[in-house]
Amino acid sequence: MKMWSGRFRQPLDPGFEKWQRSFPYDQRLLPFELAASRAHANALEHAGVLSSEELSEVVKALSEIGRRAESESEFLNDPEAEDVHHFVEKQLVLLIGATGYKLHTGRSRNEQIATDLRLFVRQSIDTLQGLIADWVEAILTRAEGAGSTGMPAYTHLQPAEPVLVAHWLLAYVEMFLRDAARLADCRKRANLCPLGSGAVAGATLTLNRQAMAQALGFDGPTANSIDATSDRDFALEFVNALSLFALHLSRWAEEMILFSTPAYGFVELPEAYSTGSSAMPQKKNPDLLELVRGKAARVMGCATTLQTLLKGLPLAYNKDLQETQEPMFDASDTVIGMLPLVTGFMNTVEFNEAKMNQAAQAGYMNAWAAAAYLVERGVPSRLAHEAIGKAVQLAVERGCELQKLPLADLQAIHASFDAAFPSCLGLTEVLGLHDVPGGTAPRHVKRALQNARERAGLLRSPEPLATR
């Protein structure tokens, strides 16, 4: 029996019937649907709609449905179920007869789907936090392992200043810790319970909303039934957070691709995460990284779909909302699927430290340090900049680094140069010059590493999931 057939004289067009079903994809919400149904059944007993015997019958049958869904591969093969809500009702009636029809008393699928989707978002976020912790810790391990190795930092993709490899990797750690924080923030707003909101105006029975919320591990009930049944902000916030996360992964992937090319040679691609070319035998291609970059587009597309979908909807529930499900699942699956792979990549990728260190010391990236040297000797900054610019020009002409210029030539540019100049331009000295928190001086990087370790560890304190 359909959930709404009474008013209709004609059957649905078979093509339309099949086309409008969401069960093929919303069946993954079954554990949440069962948990929410259990909470509702308890509230019905409290309200006197179910006897305590009926309640235990319903609760037992709900567990049985969950058990069969897990153990019988054909169980979810139901071409008639319109959606996960209809499926559960059908199965309930098969198991316990007409009592099964009582479960829908005082509730609407509009509040049910809103509840299931919030539970889904909450669970995905909890999964993601653990995976982000693994990922960030993998980056941190490589950062710690890089020790005192330097590399060029770029602006405009031109070599700018040398930094510690650890400092470079910590930049990514910051991005991903922000992603984790955004997800945690999204979780807070998602973790409210729509049950009791009915179709739009609130339940027609005095259901204990506080108890239902509590049973499902929500922080409390939602405040307004119109909003609760039509709100998908939590989905959009979730997918927006994922799209920014995927964007960060894509930036990381792009840089790894660049650094693995022979022109840079900083990174040796791990064979376990690369592929060959069917045509060119010498090739080792960064397919994992390229797919990470590509999948970011997909996740960003999901966010765009959700925004576009929601922007014109009048209150409250509209069937368009069914279309929020797949982009949300897809974005979640895509990011959850990528994380163990990028973590594996990070654990095995080889850094060519000698080459990075060498690159950190070539190409006049110590020019700012050279200017600082003059400033320390009382030369006004703008004039020091000018003088070092001239010295760079001379060094370019001679094909040497700044510290190799003869003192006499330097003094012809500015009288303040002295014999100490070359000793101020080594990698260690240049790195040490950036002696501010957040800068690349080794003592600050060391502290930053410790601090990031602590923050990554905090991601491992998951909120308990209450979907039993």
Q: Using CB under 6 A as the criterion, which residues of the chain lie in contact with ligand ARG when the complex forms?
A: 22, 26, 83, 109-110, 113, 317, 319, 321-322, 325
The minimum distance between CB 113 and ligand ARG, in angstroms, equals 4
Q: Which is nearer to ligand ARG, 83 or 137 (CB)?
A: 83
The minimum distance between CB 294 and ligand ARG, in angstroms, equals 29
Has 156 been annotated as catalytic?
yes
The minimum distance between CB 215 and ligand ARG, in angstroms, equals 21
Tokens 């049973």, located at residue: 215
Nearest to 30 by CA among 51, 2, 72, 17: 72
The minimum distance between CB 339 and ligand ARG, in angstroms, equals 27
Q: Which is nearer to ligand ARG, 113 or 183 (CB)?
A: 113
The minimum distance between CB 313 and ligand ARG, in angstroms, equals 12
Structure tokens at 40: 């509702």
Query: Could you give phi then psi for residue 225, rounded to 5 degrees?
Result: -70, -30
Alpha-carbon distances of 327 from 236, 299, 303, 376, rounded to whole Å: 10, 8, 8, 58
Q: Which is nearer to ligand ARG, 9 or 319 (CB)?
A: 319
The minimum distance between CB 196 and ligand ARG, in angstroms, equals 16
Query: Could you give phi then psi for residue 263, rounded to 5 degrees?
Result: -60, -35
By three-state DSSP, how is residue 123 classified?
Answer: helix
Residue partners of 330: CB distance under 8 A and separation at least 6: 298, 299, 302
β-pairing, 350-351 vs 150-155, is unpaired
Has 277 been annotated as catalytic?
yes
Q: Which is nearer to ligand ARG, 111 or 179 (CB)?
A: 111
d(Cα 169, Cα 135) in Å, to the nearest integer?
Answer: 12
Residue burial 327-362, b: 16+ Cβ < 10 Å; e: rest: bbbbbbebbeebbeebbbbbeebebbbebbbebbbe
Question: 52, 71, 73, 156: which one is catalytic?
Answer: 156
d(Cα 431, Cα 385) in Å, to the nearest integer?
Answer: 19
d(Cα 45, Cα 77) in Å, to the nearest integer?
Answer: 31
The minimum distance between CB 114 and ligand ARG, in angstroms, equals 9
Tokens 């649905």, located at residue: 12
Nearest to 153 by CA among 168, 173, 142: 168
Q: Which is nearer to ligand ARG, 22 or 366 (CB)?
A: 22
d(Cα 214, Cα 93) in Å, to the nearest integer?
Answer: 27
Nearest to 85 by CA among 189, 17, 4, 191: 4
Q: Which is nearer to ligand ARG, 22 or 124 (CB)?
A: 22
Q: Which is nearer to ligand ARG, 229 or 243 (CB)?
A: 229
The answer to whether the CB of 115 falls within 8 A of the CB of 70 is no
Question: 51, 56, 63, 277: which one is catalytic?
Answer: 277
Q: Which is nearer to ligand ARG, 110 or 222 (CB)?
A: 110
Tokens 């990070």, located at residue: 346
d(Cα 433, Cα 320) in Å, to the nearest integer?
Answer: 58
The minimum distance between CB 98 and ligand ARG, in angstroms, equals 23
d(Cα 455, Cα 213) in Å, to the nearest integer?
Answer: 30
Catalytic residues: 156, 277
